Amino acid sequence: MSRYYLTTPIYYVNSTPHIGHAYTTIAADILVRHQRQRGDETFFLTGTDENASKNVRAAEEAGVDPKTFVDDLVEDHWRPLPARVGASPDFFIRTTDEGHHRFVQEFVQQIYDNGHIYEDIYAGLYCVSCEEFKTEDQLTPDGLCLEHGTKPEWIEERNWFFRLSAFQEQLLRLYDERPDFVLPDFRYNEARSFIAGGLRDFSLSRAGQPWGVPVPWDPEQVVYVWVDALVNYLSALTYARPGEDLREEFWPVAHHLIGKDILRFHCVFWPALLLAAGYEVPRQIFVHGWLLFGDRKISKSSGNVIEPLELTEIYGIDALRFYAARVARFGQDGNASADDLHERYERELGNDLGNLVSRTTAMIVRYREGRIEPAAWDSPFRAELEQLARLVPARLDEYDLSGALEAIWVVIRSLNRYVEERAPWQLAKDATKSEELDRTLYDLADGLRAVAIALAAYLPETASRILVALGQSDDLAWEGVAYGRTAAAEGIAAAEPLFPRVELETAVA
């Protein structure tokens, strides 16, 4: 059995979850669910990054202590995020967890003991929103942060430095030996040229901060929040299951999913820190683009503007998951909009898939009293489903979420054409065509069953509804994506529409 460990970035708690955060979580959930279907032992981690100094300020402004402040945000907004998009992580890490603190201390102590940390004075401009020291080329001509448009603060303090420069050669070797360490290729190139351009040591601690993980050999300082955050991918494995050390099973088979804005931290700093502490580097890092939602304001019928993430309340969770995977090739930026979501909901989910399920079940009711009999034959769907069973895993192994989904849609379209070509309503009029009608209905039911299994990672709820509607088992094992596995069933009823019509005026105003 293979093991598969997938992580999302851990989210800053100071904002509320939006569609961009949901995007990574959805993509990760699709990949993990698929891997589970293939029989892999999986571990899916997500969580929150809470030790940023900006939380101390925000808490002060809110008049509460920092822990109460982050607890409220996490419980009200962040812990519910996975369920809001149908994701089921195995563990939700908070960097304020005691287990995380303990491990971060152990981890940096190892780096210190291995001689990769030294003391020095740091002076420079620090952007609190990025939690990063800025060089001049990272600022506007007026000296503002390129990302946030805010004025960075001048900081001068005694810090502990990580000897990143010493890892340049080793990192370059790693990149040369493992051309798929970072995907897609253009991100690999970006990371590699950053390393080749020369690496500067960075400060691994911050002085005079009451919030964060104390540096074990100098408790006056706390561990730099980005180091503390990156370590979550390892720390979680040490305490997610009390009494178990999951590192043995899931390190280094880690796959990190990240947005393009945090590439350097993950593709350069993180492997160097791991090597310095004596760990193997993760298996792979996939860098995705941004999902940009059109600026047209989306309003509820009440007139209140809604966050695109709330579109699940109108279209359902599966529709948003579908759209996230469909809107752009994963890795590239995607231009999303409520209109586009609506159009795809109607055409692809409603017409292509939903109607096919309704028609198929209705015909089984009308022509065969709700019964499906085994009628596998030398059907064209044998080859089609074989191809589907091969293409989807191959594409998902390359994080090609939209490509794998397209392979499934090829079969859905083909099933729709089959209905038209075979015209069961004609066959039903001719008693000599009874066997042909059996075969046709069987092929439609069987194709839909296989499609449901293939789609389950994307549309978990819909997949299960299709299998129930066809009287089939809920076994999602990937072997089921094959022709002729539909079991005899009776009592099938005409299915309710899977994707009921949504009036655009209600959805978006």
Alpha-carbon span 271 to 171, nearest angstrom: 8
Alpha-carbon span 92 to 240, nearest angstrom: 8
User: Of the two residues 320 and 427, which places its CB atom closer to ligand MSP in the complex?
Assistant: 320
- Pick the piece of the chain touching ligand MSP (CB under 6 A) from 76-84, 238-246, 254-262, 337-345: 254-262
Q: Which of 34, 145, 266, 342 is catalytic?
A: 145
> Closest separation between CB of residue 311 and ligand MSP, Å?
15
Length of the chain in residues, anyone? Answer: 509
User: Of the two residues 23 and 381, which places its CB atom closer to ligand MSP in the complex?
Assistant: 23
Annotation marks residue 127 as catalytic: yes
Annotation marks residue 130 as catalytic: yes
Annotation marks residue 256 as catalytic: no
Annotation marks residue 300 as catalytic: yes
Annotation marks residue 54 as catalytic: no
391 closest CA partner among 376, 402, 380: 402
> Closest separation between CB of residue 235 and ligand MSP, Å?
11
Alpha-carbon span 93 to 5, nearest angstrom: 14
Burial zone of 209 (CB within 10 Å; 0-12 exposed, 13-18 middle, 19+ buried): middle
Amino acid at 359: R
> Closest separation between CB of residue 335 and ligand MSP, Å?
11
Find out whether 485 and 65 touch, Cβ atoms under 8 Å: no
Amino acid at 29: D
SS3 readout for 36-89: HHCCCEEEEEEEEECCCHHHHHHHHHHCCCHHHHHHHHHHHHHCCHHHHCCCCC
- Report residue 43 CA to chain centroid gap: 13
Question: Residue 157: enclosing H or E segment and its boundaries?
Answer: strand 153-162
User: Of the two residues 287 and 388, which places its CB atom closer to ligand MSP in the complex?
Assistant: 287
Candidates 4, 11, 251, 315: give the one binding ligand MSP (CB under 6 A).
11
Candidates 139, 155, 262, 410: give the one binding ligand MSP (CB under 6 A).
262
> Of 192-231, which residues contact ligand MSP (CB under 6 A)?
229-230
Residue 273 lies near ligand MSP (rule: CB under 6 A): no
Q: Which of 18, 54, 77, 433 is catalytic?
A: 18
> Closest separation between CB of residue 54 and ligand MSP, Å?
11
Annotation marks residue 21 as catalytic: yes
> Closest separation between CB of residue 326 and ligand MSP, Å?
15
> HSE-up of 294 (CA within 13 Å, CB side)?
11
Tokens for 179, please give them.
């051309």
Q: How many residues bind ligand MSP (CB under 6 A)?
A: 18
Residue 237 lies near ligand MSP (rule: CB under 6 A): no
Candidates 82, 259, 308, 447: give the one binding ligand MSP (CB under 6 A).
259
119 closest CA partner among 157, 153, 155: 157
Q: Which of 34, 127, 267, 342 is catalytic?
A: 127
Annotation marks residue 18 as catalytic: yes
Amino acid at 201: D
DSSP 299: B
- Return the SS3 of 297: coil
Annotation marks residue 429 as catalytic: no
Residue 124 lies near ligand MSP (rule: CB under 6 A): no
> Closest separation between CB of residue 179 and ligand MSP, Å?
23
Alpha-carbon span 42 to 47, nearest angstrom: 17
> Closest separation between CB of residue 71 and ligand MSP, Å?
17
Residue 10 lies near ligand MSP (rule: CB under 6 A): yes
- Return the SS3 of 93: strand
Q: Which of 67, 148, 151, 429 is catalytic?
A: 148
User: Of the two residues 235 and 379, which places its CB atom closer to ligand MSP in the complex?
Assistant: 235
Find out whether 320 and 312 touch, Cβ atoms under 8 Å: yes
Alpha-carbon span 472 to 402, nearest angstrom: 27
Burial zone of 191 (CB within 10 Å; 0-12 exposed, 13-18 middle, 19+ buried): buried
> Closest separation between CB of residue 134 and ligand MSP, Å?
16
User: 């990025």: which residue's tokens?
Assistant: 130
Residue 291 lies near ligand MSP (rule: CB under 6 A): yes
User: Of the two residues 287 and 502, which places its CB atom closer to ligand MSP in the complex?
Assistant: 287
> Closest separation between CB of residue 170 and ligand MSP, Å?
21
User: Of the two residues 24 and 53, which places its CB atom closer to ligand MSP in the complex?
Assistant: 24
Residue 96 lies near ligand MSP (rule: CB under 6 A): no
Find out whether 209 and 53 touch, Cβ atoms under 8 Å: yes
Residue 23 lies near ligand MSP (rule: CB under 6 A): yes
Catalytic sites, residue numbers? 18, 21, 127, 130, 145, 148, 297, 300
Question: Residues in the site for ligand MSP, rule: CB under 6 A?
Answer: 9-12, 20-21, 23-24, 49, 229-230, 232, 258-259, 261-262, 290-291
